[in-house]
Amino acid sequence: MALPLLNEHPRTAIPCAQKVEPREMRDLRLLARVSCELPVFGMALESSRFFTATVKDVSLGGLRLEFEEPTLRAGETVKVKPGRGPAGINCRVVWTRGYEAGLQFLDPPARVARSWVLPLLCPERGTDQSNRRRYIRVRSELPGIVGPPWGGQLPMTVLDLGLGGGMIRCDRSFARGTKLFLRLGIGEHEALETQCEVVNCQETGQGDHRCHVRFLDLSPAQMRLLGRYVVELLKACSY
C-alpha cells in the first residue's frame, strides 16, 4: 500500500512476517505492544452479553484482554471501554486462549487515534529508557524536510516513526542535542510541523547519516495527528 506524502507517492515498507501461524494472529504480533493493567467493561454486540476484563497490553492495532473466566469466542464483535467516561471502541475477537483473548480494532484509524487507547501508548515524561523504547515504531520510507529552526532545511526520509520520535536519513550529521525543525505528512492528513531533538546520529558509510530524534513539546492536536499517521502506517499491513 503506497501512502503519498504531500502530493508525492513514496513506497512505504512495513515488514510483515512470512510464516506459519494464521495471518491475523501473525500480523497482530507484529505490532509493538505496551504492557498495561486497565480494567474495562465490554459488550458482545451480537448476543448483548456484558463482561468485565483487564487490558494486559495494547497497540494501535488491537489489545489483549484477560478475564476471570472464559468469556468470548473468536469471530465475535465487541465494544470495549474503560468505565463510564470515554466512548467504546469496536473490536473483533481474533483469538481466545484460556482466560485471554486478542482483539483487533474495527473502528476507523482516526477514531482509534482520538480514543482512550492513545494515552496508554504515550508514556509520561520522566519514564525510564526501557519504557520509552516501548513507543510504537513503524518502519517506513516517508520523505520530508528537516533542519535548524533558523534555516538551511534539507530533504530527509523518515525510516521509522513512532509517537515519541523516529529515525531519519539525511545528507548531513547533527550533533547530539541539536534542536531541529521537522515537517512531514501522509495521505490526506494535514502536514505535521514540529521541533525535535537529535538523540544520536551515525554515518552509514553510503554518503548519508541516520539520526534518531525525539519530538519536543507536542501539543494535544499534534499528538492526535501523529497518532493518525502511525495508525495509517500500521493499517498498511492489513489483517
DSSP string, 91-129: EEEEEEETTEEEEEE-S-HHHHHHSTHHHHTSPPTT--H
150 and 95 within one domain? no
> Nine-digit cell at 151?
534555516
70 and 114 within one domain? yes
Q: pLDDT tens, 106-128?
A: 987 767 777 888 777 654 433 34
State residue 17 phi and psi, 5-degree precision.
-60, 150
95 and 71 within one domain? yes
> Nine-digit cell at 11?
513506497
> Nine-digit cell at 212?
534518531
CATH number at residue 205: 2.40.10.220
| Domain annotation covers residue 11 | no
| Domain annotation covers residue 101 | yes
Residue with cell 472464559: 70
End position of a domain, from candidates 120, 144, 162 = 120
| Domain annotation covers residue 17 | no
| Domain annotation covers residue 16 | no
> Nine-digit cell at 103?
482483539
Q: Where are the alpha helices (DSSP H) in the chain?
A: 23-30, 109-114, 117-120, 129-132, 220-235
| Domain annotation covers residue 2 | no
| Domain annotation covers residue 187 | yes
The residue type of 51 is: F
Task: Write out the chain's pLDDT in tens, 239 residues.
Answer: 333 333 333 333 333 323 333 443 344 344 456 778 889 999 999 998 999 999 988 877 789 999 988 889 999 999 999 877 778 999 999 999 999 999 999 987 767 777 888 777 654 433 344 444 345 567 788 889 998 877 788 999 998 888 788 899 999 899 999 999 999 887 777 889 999 999 999 998 888 999 999 999 888 788 888 877 877 776 654 33
Query: Could you tell me if 178 and 198 are in contact, meaning their C-beta atoms sit under 8 angstroms apart?
Result: yes
83 and 107 within one domain? yes
Alpha-carbon gap, residue 117 to 231, rounded angstroms: 12
Residue ranges making up the domain that contains 186: 135-235
| Domain annotation covers residue 24 | no
End position of a domain, from candidates 68, 89, 120 = 120
| Domain annotation covers residue 28 | no
Alpha-carbon gap, residue 50 to 104, rounded angstroms: 18
When divided into structural domains, the chain yields a total of 2
End position of a domain, from candidates 85, 120, 155 = 120
